[in-house]
Each structure stands twice: as C-alpha cells, then as structure tokens.
Homo-oligomer: A and B are copies of this chain.
C-alpha cells in the first residue's frame, strides 16, 4: 500500500502541523499519543478487550451492560489499563470506564449513543442477532432528516424517514411503518439506539421483510426536534417533557400521515400502514390505532405503557373499550404485543391482554427475557418487521 501523497517539503510541513495541532483541540488529529491504544478490541471468539492509558490512576474499571456490575482493569508497565471479557453473546453493548471512581467515556472509541442526557460508548459483537444491527454489504436505503408542517401543533417539526433501496429509481408505491420512540426519545432514537435502518436494510436483503418506508417522528409535541436540532439550541435533555401523554400527539398524528402520503409514494390505505412503538411509543401506537379507525392493519406494542392517566382529558381517551371493540370489528391483520418478564410494565400488559381476550381481540404475544431495554426493542423490531405487509 503506497501512502506517499505529498512532495517531501509538503509532507514535512504536514508532519510539523500535526505536532502543532496537538495543543489545539479543534483539529483532533490522532497524533501525539505516546502509544496507539485500540479500545475496544473485539476478538475472533467474541471476547472484548478494553484499554485505557491512565498511568497516574489508582484504580480503573469498566462498567457496561455486558456484565453485572463493573470489572476491575489491570495496569501494564506502560500505564495502560486493560480488561478482557469472556466471549460475549452477539449484541450491541454500551459501556464506560470508572477512573478513581469517576465515570468517563473511552477516548479511543468514537462510537457513541445518546440516551436522554447520557452518552455512552458502544460495541457491536456480531455472529448472532446483532448481525442485523451491523452495516453489512447489502443495498442500503436512504435516511432523511426532514421537517414537516404540523397544523395541529402550529409548528414545523423534524422527522426521520427511511426509504428502501430502489425507492428513488422505481415507481412502486410502498407500505409505511410508523415507528415511535419512548419517553425521553425523539426522532433520533430508533435510528441510533434502535439500529432500525440497519435492521430493515438487512431484513430486506435477506428476503425476510418487505421493502417499506419507515417513518420515525418526534412524539414530544412540546419539542420541534431532538435536543440540539431545534432553535432551543444546545441544552441538557430532559426525560420528562410536558404534553407527552395527554392525547395531543395522537390527535395531531394525522398531520404526519398526511405529510407522508403527500410526499412519498405510499400505499394509501389500511393494508399499507403499520404503527409500532416502545414504552410511551407503544402507548401512542395503541391509542392512535384505535383513534383513527381503519387506518392501520398492523400494530406493534413493545413494552408498552397502556393505560392513560385517569385525570387526562382528551377525546382520544374517551370510550377506549368501545373503540377497541370497533378496531376488532373493523379487522386488524396483526396486533403484536411484546414484553420482557422483568419489565415494570409486565402486569399492565397482562391486564391489557385479559381485556383483549375478553373481547376476543386476536393478538400475537411475545414474552422475552429481560426488562425495559433497547436490547429487547431491537429484538422485537427484528421479529415484527417480517410480519408486516404480507
């Protein structure tokens, strides 16, 4: 591999530049470290080594969802702390270091995911279910960040839209999945934490899912866009936002459907629409699919919150049982409920299934291990997508 690009004088000045720039954070060139650290390193057998150069630290450990608790790291003669895991099951993991009791990110890993107000490093261990979360050498859809007019909220709002490979070159009309995030999420949640665009690319390539458009809106009507992406500027994100589960999003969801049907080649009827979401997004999916009769043939509730606050006054929450019965009578090709055994919403979902059973409302029920986690929501999405639009 030939890597001489420059005439010698230019090369020398370039190298000189690198040393000058060490002191300037803005350029962030990867020079000037005493030792090149690779962290994390995923080995052939799916064990992972974490490394941190911290010669003066007294104690360093690594904490993440690959382990219970934290794992002590050990220091070598060069001041590099390291820890190697056992072979790990295939998954997308998050982790951080604890240095003398202070949590910090891995300076040698540029891959991060924000979840509300925290940002953690990620690692992808393949060879199993997480192969669906990888960017593989398959045709890729387009991921667009757009703004749409919401007359119901008197606002322009940001939205993430995935169109499948081929969308731009053919004339086909595509079915649409509306995919909703949980409390504290936004239009960035499914594409980042949920790896939704990788999952659908891979499932389409494997012939396991129909090509479809996936619409990922922002379900916080008090927000125009994800933190940092609106005129509110860079602020510390909050978990609890106002007007999040008060019916307003459901009422104004028609603005999103209208926007999508106007701007994309969609299948503009019930058989071409699915709606699914996690936690608060499952709540929204259940209520939206009731509230707009004959609009969605496919509904997915992932670890869903179900029951609205009794004091919440909205026409969306009037006559829930009656509209649910109507939804059943109108027909709904797939009503899918997924919940983890350790989820704090397990009982609420059990109660809800009893209600559905009592009215002979057919659904598919998927009970998984674990709780209220992105790990489960990625798995649910991977299982739900192949069932759509068949």
Q: Complex Cα distance A238/B31, Å?
A: 10
Are A63 and B25 touching (Cβ within 8 A)?
yes
In angstroms, how far is the closest chain B Cβ from the Cβ of A202?
11
What is the interface of chain A mostly: helix, strand, loop, or mixed?
A: loop
A329 in contact (CB, < 8 A): no
A352 in contact (CB, < 8 A): no
Are A122 and B234 touching (Cβ within 8 A)?
yes
28 contacts between A and B (CB under 8 A): A2-B242, A5-B309, A7-B309, A10-B348, A13-B344, A25-B64, A25-B95, A26-B94, A26-B373, A28-B115, A29-B116, A29-B239, A38-B236, A56-B101, A99-B102, A102-B104, A109-B236, A110-B119, A111-B228, A122-B234, A124-B234, A134-B231, A135-B228, A135-B231, A143-B144, A143-B145, A144-B144, A168-B263
A271 in contact (CB, < 8 A): no
Are B4 and A311 touching (Cβ within 8 A)?
yes
Are B238 and A344 touching (Cβ within 8 A)?
no
Partner-B contacts on A (CB < 8 A): 1-7, 10, 13-14, 16-18, 20-21, 23-31, 38, 54, 56-57, 63-65, 69, 94-96, 99-105, 107-112, 114-120, 122-124, 126, 134-137, 139-140, 142-147, 156, 158, 165, 168, 184, 225, 227-231, 233-234, 236-240, 242, 244-246, 263, 305, 307, 309-312, 344-345, 348, 372-375
Given A25-B95, A107-B103; A312-B5 close (CB under 8 Å): yes
Q: Complex Cα distance A137/B230, Å?
A: 8
Are A7 and B307 touching (Cβ within 8 A)?
yes
Q: Complex Cα distance A150/B320, Å?
A: 53
Are B38 and A305 touching (Cβ within 8 A)?
no
Are B28 and A117 touching (Cβ within 8 A)?
yes
Q: Which residue of B lies closest to A346 (CB)?
A: B13
Q: Complex Cα distance A10/B14, Å?
A: 60
Q: Complex Cα distance A113/B239, Å?
A: 23
Q: Which residue of B lies closest to A102 (CB)?
A: B54
Are B119 and A112 touching (Cβ within 8 A)?
yes
Q: Complex Cα distance A137/B224, Å?
A: 10
Count chain B CB atoms within 10 A of each CB in A5, A64, A227 and give the residue with the most: A5
Given A107-B104, A145-B143, A236-B110; A135-B27 close (CB under 8 Å): no
Are B26 and A374 touching (Cβ within 8 A)?
yes
Among the listed B30, B65, B305, B310, which residue makes an inter-chain contact with A118, where contact means beta carbons less than 8 Å apart? B30
Are A30 and B239 touching (Cβ within 8 A)?
yes
Among the listed B13, B100, B116, which residue makes an inter-chain contact with A57, where contact means beta carbons less than 8 Å apart? B100
